[in-house]
Structure 1
Amino acid sequence: MTIHFHPSVSPDSCPALVLNADFRPLSYYPLSLWSWQDAIKAVFLDRVNIVSNYEKTVRSPSFEMQLPSVVSLKTYIKPARHPAFTRFNVFLRDRFACQYCGARDELTFDHVIPRARGGMTTWENVVAACSPCNLRKADRLPDDVHMWPARMPFQPTIGDLHQSGRLFPPNYLHESWMDYLYWDSVLEP
């Protein structure tokens, strides 16, 4: 089947928010999104339910369909219990801020107890740091240079990372997604 779309529907536009079978996003940061092509394919393979649509449609000679803006998986995917130890997840845990000075530019990571002093590359010993602070601290202990992290490093849960991720919404949020992104927030009276 060949699908023709209106000129205003570019291949990169109209992403679909992907919800788990319990209607929670699969991930908040990065936000769980599929291209409209992947969303339509999942509909045809009967893997998702359409929850909400865009006003834009795609057409073939024998078929017309509104583009899904929100889809939910038909089968529940159990979330990971522990997040992967990655540079991005360290930055996310530390809310994209240097733990020594609060800067948000030139982020790298620092071993609180330097590797040269026996420190390990673990959740409990690595923090986000800007390049100037990382160079200033070098391979010295926090007490030696009077540089202590604002928040001591810890192994976050998936919930911790989701909570941090909610503080950094993506540049594009479609109105149909709002009921699903912050659904566990306290409602105002």
Structure 2
Amino acid sequence: MVAFDNHPALVLNADFRPLSYFPLSLWSWQDAVRAVVADRVCVVSEYDREIRSPRFTMRLPSVISLKEYVPAARRPAFTRFNVFLRDRFTCQYCGTAFPTHDLTFDHVVPRARGGRTTWDNVVTACSPCNLRKGCRSAGEAGMALLSRPDQPSTYQLQVNGRSFPPNYLHQSWRDYLYWDSELEQF
């Protein structure tokens, strides 16, 4: 039996937009098949591969849409990952982009000075800049913030997420991931 692990399904909301862009909303082939059998999703596109049981044969879904619309959260959760995504995985002091494992977050007003861990006081920083700033303000450390931190909307995070394409894109997903991108003019 050949493994189907490299056959995930792109999950779209009932309005045919991905549930999320980064990380891309994907379900394993097993979860996608379970949802199809439970009649919770519609199959929009399929792979050429089939799964079989003694009484059942179906092609693996490559794109599925939920039958019931799931509204996006009004306010994104305040998480380390969402701070990095808001700041586009870029140190807000030196302007260099880094992989997530090389990033930290920094309190603009240091916690030792009463700064809180909130959207408007936390920015993405690389370790060298975070250490250089230390327990001082950016001005005291001779540094400047590239942008003022604030709470992003879910839409802003989705826009930022589109800038970071996933490692793997099946051809059948392209119409649903980039349907609202600007078209080329001839």
TM-score of the superposition, structure 1-length normalised? Answer: 0.93
Q: Which residue among 76, 99, 123 is the counterpart of 2:92? A: 99
For 1:153 and 1:182, locate their aligned partners in 2 and report how far apart those are by CA, in whole Å: 28
Q: 1:145 aligns with which of 132, 141, 145?
A: 141
Tell me if 1:174 matches 2:174. Answer: no
Stretches of 4+ aligned residues off by more than 3 angstroms:
none
1:152 is displaced (CA, Å) by 1.1
| RMSD across aligned positions (CA) | 1.0
1:102: how far off? 2.2
Shift of 1:186: 1.5
Residues 131-163 of structure 1: per-residue CA shift (max 9 Å, x gap): 110000001011111212111111000011011
What residue identity is the alignment partner of 1:151?
Answer: S
User: Residues of 2 paired with 1:60 and 1:14: CA distance?
Assistant: 18
CA distance in 1, matches of 2:180, 2:142: 40
Distance 2:22 2:34 in 1: 24
Alignment of 1:1-189 (within 5 A): 6-7=1-2, 9-10=3-4, 12-103=5-96, 104=98, 106-189=102-185
> 1-side partners of 2:180 and 2:133: how far apart?
40
> What residue ranges of structure 1 are gaps of 5+ in the alignment?
1-5
5+ residue gaps, structure 2, are none
2:74 partner amino acid? R
CA offsets, 1:15-73, max 9 Å, x none?
A: 00000000000111111100011111001100000000001111112221110000000
Q: What amino acid is the match of 1:120?
A: R
1:131 and 1:109 map into 2 onto residues whose CA distance is 9
Give distance in 2, aligned partners of 1:90 and 1:154: 10
Count of aligned pairs between the two proteins: 182
The Cα shift of 1:118 comes to: 1.5
**Structure 1 residue matching 2:179: 3-state secondary structure:** coil
Q: Which moved more, 1:114-123 or 1:84-93?
A: 114-123
Q: For residue 149 of structure 1, what is the amino acid of its counterpart?
A: L
AA aligned to 2:146 is A
